Structure 1
Amino acid sequence: MEKELAVKNLDRVISKVEAARLRVSEHHIVKIIGVSKYSTSKDVAMLYSAGQRAFGENKVQDLKQKSQELEELPLEWHFIGRLQKNKINNLIDLNPTLMQSLDSYELALELDKKLELKKKKMSCLLQINSAFEESKTGVDPKEALDIYKKILENCPNIKLKGVMSIGAHSDDKEAIKNSFLITKKIYDEVVSFGAIYCSMGMSSDYELAITCGSNMIRVGSSLFK
């Protein structure tokens, strides 16, 4: 990816984010995470030079490779994929800024145990399956508040920072919107417990997600193609 394209892509996303966030409130701030899973370290460096600072990876191995290749840049790395239990130690060693895909209480207990052994802490988002789709991981929205509280009480090494979800996989805009509103309602309930991030919206639906209250989006193809 050339520098010119990186600048153009980033400018376009920022313009759309600005328009969407102003429909919510001029005080509504949205953080953009560049999803670099199908891109190279060189592409990430191009976007960094265009002004993007936070990037997300789906696989621990890819996160390790890119963060090592780009270690001279002050990047913020997010883990946004499904975390297998045998990769927990590897992820802890990489020290991501935010682990966005804590998708069950069981995973939280396992992660907390391994963080304890390594004397580390990790900031995480609870992933909610607000689209009620079997293909997606995440906790049931009806149980989300209870699970959030249980993690706060029983996992002292996990710093919960909010919630994350993936919009409904549908051509029906109302179905997608509804899935976002379910997550936003849960986010509003956990703000009193210190939640600051409601991570919703990807390249195909981030404008809708923002108008539903998202303050963190995860965009890949919009930035990298």
Structure 2
Amino acid sequence: MSTIKERIATIQKRITTEFEKTTFSKKPTLLAVSKIKPAELVLEAYEAGHRDFGENYVKELHQKAQDVEKSDIRWHFIGHLQSNKAKLLCSTKNLYMMQTVHSIKIARLLNKHCQEREEPLRVMIQINTSGEENKSGCDPENCHEIIQFILNDCPNLKFVGIMMIGFFAQENDFKRLSQLKEKISKQLQIDSNEIELSMGMSNDYETAIKYGSTCVRVGSLIFGQRNYN
């Protein structure tokens, strides 16, 4: 059975292979999604040289950041944020990025609770590309309003890109997000190369790279299948 180190190396090799087929300028970051996996496995991946980890639940992330206390680890929050958890999230050690901002209300709360940070918190806007009501994320037509609010009224936040979540995402969803990135670039006069795209998971990250993903979120291929019971 392969080790976590070997699995990460295999995925990184596949990322490089797919990226080199494209004309994009930024090689995707591999985000190791460690939700409901023990801190010991995160530490194993860290010792193998990995630094970027994604978590879906605020309390779990906050605890793991204490359990795996490494100064250069980068924690990304990729779950749905409830308003009453914003303060706890922002107080998490080594919180590097919040990828799922879906409203002006959440942006305002994050900005409020990030006042003590040494540098602005990097944030992405979560987009609901499919329009399904049971999925989180803002409407693609309204995302520029949230971005504009962050740029103008949130000095403690730094807009870095857009993201989508969908285990059964279609290739068209990746295409839509890529097109939306170009639209945002023109609307808000932001260099397209400065807007990141977080899309692609264990089952489809290679396809997402074809459409310009700069962050692929891989969990089960690294840490094994999750048992929610």
> Could you say whether these structures have the same fold, taking a TM-score greater than 0.5 normalized by the shorter chain as the test?
yes
Indicate how the Cα distance of structure 1 residues 26 and 127 shifts in structure 2: closer, same or farther if over 3 A, else same.
Answer: closer
User: Which consecutive unaligned segments of at least 5 residues does structure 2 have?
Assistant: 225-229
**Aligned length, in residue pairs:** 217
What is the DSSP-based 3-state SS (H/G/I as helix, E as strand, rest coil) of the residue aligned with 2:91? Answer: helix
Structure 1 residue runs of 4 or more that deviate by more than 4 Å after TM superposition:
none
User: Which consecutive unaligned segments of at least 5 residues does structure 1 have?
Assistant: 171-175
Question: What are the within-5 Å matches in structure 2 for residues 60-209 of structure 1?
Answer: 60-72=58-70, 74-95=72-93, 96-116=95-115, 118=116, 121-167=120-166, 169=168, 176-191=170-185, 192-193=189-190, 195-209=194-208
Query: More deviation in 118-127 or 212-221?
Result: 118-127
Give the helix-richer structure, 1 or 2: 1
1:23 Cα deviation after fit: 1.7
Indicate how the Cα distance of structure 1 residues 74 and 156 shifts in structure 2: closer, same or farther if over 3 A, else same.
Answer: closer
Percentage of matched positions with identical amino acids? 34
* TM-score, normalised by the number of residues in structure 2: 0.86
CA distance in 2, matches of 1:149, 1:76: 26
1:193 Cα deviation after fit: 2.9
Question: Does the 8 A contact of 1:163 with 1:198 survive in 2?
Answer: yes
CA distance in 2, matches of 1:53, 1:64: 16
| One-letter code aligned to 1:211 | K
